[in-house]
Amino acid sequence: MEVGFIVKMGVAMILLCMAKTTNSKLHDDLLTTEAICPKQCAVCSSIEMLCSGANITDVLNYNMDPQIENLDFSNMTLDFIPLEVSHMTNCKKLNLSTNNIQKIEKNALQNLWNLEDLILSNNSIINIADINPSELFNNTINIKRLNLSNNHITDLGQNYSTILISESLEVLDVSHCKIFSLVGKFVLSGLKKLRYLNLSNNPLLVFNELSSNSITTLNLRGCLLVQLSDDALSGFTNLELLDTSLNDQLFIDNPIQSKSLKTFDISQCSVRIPNIDGMLQVRTVFMNNNRIKRLTAYQFANNSKLINLDLHENHIETVDPLAFYGLSSLLILDLSTNFIVEISWESALATLPVLESLNLSFNFISQVGRLKSNSLRRLNFDHCWIHSIPNGAFVQLEKLNELIISNNPLQMLLPGSFNSSHLSFLDLSYCRISHLISYEFVNSPNLTEIRLTGNRLVALKNGTFNKCTKLKYVDLDDNPWMCDCYSVDFVYMAILANKTTKHSPIDRTPSCLTPDNVTGMLWHVACVNSPVYTRDNRKNFSMAIGVILILCVSGLMAIFVAVHENMKTRQIMRRRRQLDEYGNPDRSGGVGSAGPDEYFDEYAAAAESARKMSQLPSYDEAVMLPKPPQEPRWTKRHSCTQTDDADVRAAPVSPAASGGVYLLLPPPNGLHVTEL
């Protein structure tokens, strides 16, 4: 019985295991079938599902994970928010843009407790009340960003029941809608934490009496505003940035009041008078591309905290010497692209004690005075009408390190024009400069980059930049260079170009204009391929060999002279020792008592006497000397008939010379034969 029971239990266990295995396989197959990502869905995972443009039916049939955090149902031609979306309790970002949604039920988002970003742009919402704005976000307590841009919304609520209400919303984008009026303090009263409101590109005509204690950034760019009243911003107590640019008809008659505004952009409008006196805390003002014609005295007297003032592309013709009075914190001033002809340099810079950057490019300035500033670092005169720069114009700019004077009709530089010890960048391109003085940059030791592109330079004087030890970039292209490979100036230019253009991000290699056979060639190609370059190299090599030989010969001569002088000195010392030994009794053993000097004198006297005795007598002395006794005579008989009276004195030196017969006469009295 027990054995049978055990067998039955074993069989039952085996069958049970087989059944579980079969069910598990069937279940896995079922999940695999359901887990196939729908068509046109880019991503299907447990975290995100991106199905922009997909078929909504296929997507809803897909077993979506309720833990999904990012859900993209854009471009699906939806008319409403699907019920299945409300089950995504962990969803943080929901994209429903580019659909046909017109209305949203108040409970459509009731289970999306973690929703932070809701995108409803490019839909068909006409009235803000159709999305139940006061109740839609009752349960979405974490919502931070709402995008309603590119809808047909005409307002943000007519009363308290139709305004948006959210305790957590921080960013509201209603740009590119049909809003034409925003009036009343109640409009934004339901958004207690709203920080950024984007109303750009709406046909907004009236903007007044709005109030918000939380908004820091307000975007009114590209609307149809004509005027802002002086108290238009009084309700925004924490507003820091206001963008009203691209309102073509906007102008300011009265100063706009704001105690918190720090950045004000009113560029590309119709401002004629820069009234910003009421903005006491403003740091940056963009007023470019307006219609300002003049800057009067004390124009910015109340803006002591202003740091950046942009007035480029206006119609400014005159600048009062005290126009910038009170701008004690201004660092950047842009007056480019105006009609300024003259500026009172001394007064203008004196009222800007900490100014670092001044842009005066594209004006009609023809003269530059002697500038003085302890803070100016960047000065731009590009595309003006400056004909000359006086000597020492920038000497008193103690911190100037960037100077741009390009595209001016300078033609030449006066000596000392760029004396600035801190100057590191200098742009002189397209200034019609025909020559540079060799000592022009002697007082610019920190110069690291200079641009000479597009001038009329033919040659560069040897040593022009020798004092600029930090020079790295030199642009010499687009000049009519004369490629004379024999010229020292051209060699200097070539070496400088080869040394500096290699650091340039673009090709700045200078090309030749003359002589005709190298026109258009790059300088190094023109020289390398010409016989002049070879001869010049050969000449330099020969000169180097000659210098080395001269140095070697000079060294040998110096050694020879040193050895000769040493031998002469040793000979004199040896002679003195000999004389000393001759006159010293202790060394020679003699009894003389005379000193070495006395013996030396005696020796010299004896030598002089011997020299005189060895000299030959003069003619007068020879005549006075006693004549020697008469020598014996030799006679020669030429024939047997010749008598003794016809004796002839012997002419030859020896008897054998003539072959005649000689007779020996007796010697004179007193002369012995042995003396002959």
Is the confidence at residue 650, as pLDDT, over 60?
no
| Residue 1: per-residue pLDDT | 46
Is the confidence at residue 360, as pLDDT, over 80?
yes
Rounded distance between C-alpha atoms, residue 357 and residue 400, angstroms: 10
Q: Say which DSSP state 635 is in.
A: E
> In this structure, what token pair is assigned to residue 187?
């409009």
Domain membership of residue 122 (yes or no) is: yes
Mean pLDDT of 503-521: 73
Domain membership of residue 610 (yes or no) is: no
Domain membership of residue 65 (yes or no) is: yes
Number of domains present in the structure of the chain? 1
| Residue 597: per-residue pLDDT | 53
Strand-pair category, 473-475 with 481-482 = unpaired
Residue with tokens 């139709």: 162
Arithmetic mean of pLDDT over the chain: 82
Q: What is the CATH number of the domain that holds 63?
A: 3.80.10.10
pLDDT band at 166 (very low <50, low <70, confident <90, very high): very high
pLDDT band at 154 (very low <50, low <70, confident <90, very high): very high
| Residue 14: per-residue pLDDT | 59
| Residue 423: per-residue pLDDT | 92
Q: Which of 68-72, 239-243, 256-260, 593-597 has the lowest mean pLDDT?
A: 593-597
Q: Which residue has the higher pLDDT, 615 or 268?
A: 268
| Residue 648: per-residue pLDDT | 42
| Residue 3: per-residue pLDDT | 46
- Answer whether 410's CB lies under 8 Å from 393's CB: no
pLDDT band at 278 (very low <50, low <70, confident <90, very high): very high
Domain membership of residue 388 (yes or no) is: no
Domain membership of residue 503 (yes or no) is: no
Rounded distance between C-alpha atoms, residue 105 and residue 79, angstroms: 12
Domain membership of residue 459 (yes or no) is: no
Q: Which residue has the higher pLDDT, 617 or 477?
A: 477
| Residue 357: per-residue pLDDT | 97
Q: Which domain holds residue 161?
A: 38-173
Domain membership of residue 329 (yes or no) is: no
Is the confidence at residue 23, as pLDDT, over 60?
no
Q: Which of 70-84, 156-170, 298-312, 589-603 has the lowest mean pLDDT?
A: 589-603
| Residue 538: per-residue pLDDT | 58
pLDDT band at 539 (very low <50, low <70, confident <90, very high): low
35-91: pLDDT as tens digits = 578 878 898 888 999 999 998 888 888 888 888 999 999 999 999 999 888 888 999
| Residue 640: per-residue pLDDT | 46
Mean pLDDT of 254-281: 95
Q: Which residue has the higher pLDDT, 214 or 506?
A: 214
Burial class (CB in 10 A: 0-12, 13-18, 19+), 287: buried
Domain membership of residue 138 (yes or no) is: yes
Strand runs labelled E in 251-320: 263-265, 284-286, 294-295, 308-310, 318-319
Is the confidence at residue 28, as pLDDT, over 90?
no
Mean pLDDT of 321-346: 95
| Residue 485: per-residue pLDDT | 78
Q: Which of 48-62, 173-187, 485-499, 514-528 has the lowest mean pLDDT?
A: 514-528
Residue % of the chain over a pLDDT of 70: 78
Rounded distance between C-alpha atoms, residue 277 and residue 255, angstroms: 6
Q: Which of 289-293, 550-554, 620-624 has the lowest mean pLDDT?
A: 620-624
Q: Rounded to a whole number, what is the distance in angstroms from the first to the last CA of the chain?
A: 184
